[in-house]
Chain A
Amino acid sequence: MKHTPLFAAHQKLGGKLIEFGGWEMPVHYTSIMDEHQAVRKAAGLFDISHMGEVLISGPGAEAFLNQTLTNDLRKLAPGQGQYTLVCNERGGVVDDLYAYRLADQEYLLIINASRIEADTGWLDRQLASFSRRSEVKLENVSDATGAVAVQGPRVAEFINQCFPGPSNGGTTVPRVGDLKKNQIARFPWGGGDIWISRTGYTGEDGFEVVAPGQMVEAVWNQLLADGKPCGLKPAGLGARDTLRTEACYPLYGHELDENTTPIEAGLSFFVAFDKGDFVGRPILAAQKAGGTDRKLVALKMAEKSAPPRPGYAIWSTGPGATAIGAVVSGTQSPTLGAGIGLGYVPPAFAKAGTLLEIEIRGRRAAAVVVPKPFYRKPD
């Protein structure tokens, strides 16, 4: 299994290590509940060094990316990022990712760990047939780059102490804490440069720090030290999953895969139909106009039961009740104290308030479609 630069740190902290997409990563240090609550109430620190980083630059970079990704990169000022997707010709999702404009003709893509090979292969093939390919430089820097995510309502209290400003690239800010959501900036630190964005995957305020691999451990240690008085705890992949599920953020391989479109997944907001052609546009436009056969819904267990889990069948209720779909993500929500899940059902069953059942170990338990997200951070 592969190890991030923080593997020794995880062992030292007593992390329970599991295999995830070929990587040996901590699922938790104390417990998933404990770490989940820390992120919701104070702060949590995640190793996300297994994720991939791709740099794309040159005069042709914007045009290349805008025809390969679904969202409109032209909206980005230098120092800004956006959530976006890569689709194949059938509109199926190759990956969901964040695209940052670091400078005028310089972009950074942060991609899922499990999709690094698929994405870079796809991008290489797309670039090979791009007419202005001599004006685009594409570099997979995943192996040399690490990252951590620090998330929670109290992060703003210690982030500036950890990474003193001002920035020297991306958004011009005197301090990290001045970054607005989705902004990214470069800061001198530890003899080198690191990029910090105000983004995250938990539904809380927070930052993601991207650094050269050899600097990641120092970044991790500094954050742990500076965050400790505010209640910062290291948090593993288990809490990462419960947090993102409560926020209704998709996880590739669950809500998204190569046979699922962003429209089915409820992500039309991140598909820019007015920017010109991009891979998958015709099918996605047809789905946007004419509808899809299935829609992603948020489900909450309506009776005391075991939580929904990926793969469990979703049933309609009443006479003629039948299996209509399946759960793709599910867990016991630490914040709601109930089972929650995401699943695909025909559009007729997708309205909030619809009563459905989830088959759990041969018995069907009552569930209700609820609006997304399950959790929204307090203002």
Chain B
Amino acid sequence: MANVPLDLKYAKSHEWVRINGDVATVGITDHAQHELTDVVFVELPEVGRKIKAGDTCAVVESVKTASDIYSPLSGEITEANADVVADPALVNSEPYENGWFFRIKIANPDELKALLGPEQYKTQISGA
């Protein structure tokens, strides 16, 4: 069973969210990286870009395919992880740590309620 940390929130499209005040850090889950296998390229949004929840804002490429990443929340991109661009394999080895993708300044905290908790996400991926 994939690792699903209890201190995170999740989107149905397999992004995870770590909240720190009004900044959310976003990446993809252990389940997602396992499905993708070897990540060879990550394309991240520009810092300063304003996005809405559900917008495609990043791309993760494995050997075989390119997958869109959807922003779980609305807000402004404050940081993009240069480490994961330089070393895409971090997505596979550290999906919740150094393999994070970007940070958003949260525009609408109500949107957090629409995200899944760890148990809900676990249920979703075990049914998959």
Task: Please report A residues at the B interface, Cβ cutoff 8 Å.
Answer: 27-28, 31-34, 238, 242, 305-307, 309, 331-332, 334, 339, 361
Contacts and interface: CB of A to CB of B under 8 A. Distances in A.
A307 B39 CA distance: 11
B66 interface: yes
Contacts of B38: 31-34
Contacts of B59: 306, 361
B43 A361 contact: yes
A208 to B, nearest CB: 24
A332 B37 contact: no
Interface residues of B, number: 11
A198 to B, nearest CB: 28
Nearest to B38: A33
Interface in B31-55: 37-38, 40-41, 43
A309 B37 contact: no
A333 to B, nearest CB: 9
5 contacts: A32-B63, A34-B38, A307-B40, A309-B66, A339-B41
B43 A332 contact: no
B79 interface: no
Contacts of A242: 63
Interface string B46-73: 0000000000000101111010000000
Given A31-B38, A32-B38, A238 B43 contact: no
Q: Which of B37, B43, B59 has the most CB of A within 10 A?
A: B37
A331 B62 CA distance: 9
A32 B66 contact: no
A28 B63 CA distance: 11
A332 B60 CA distance: 13
Given A306-B59, A361-B59, A238 B41 contact: no
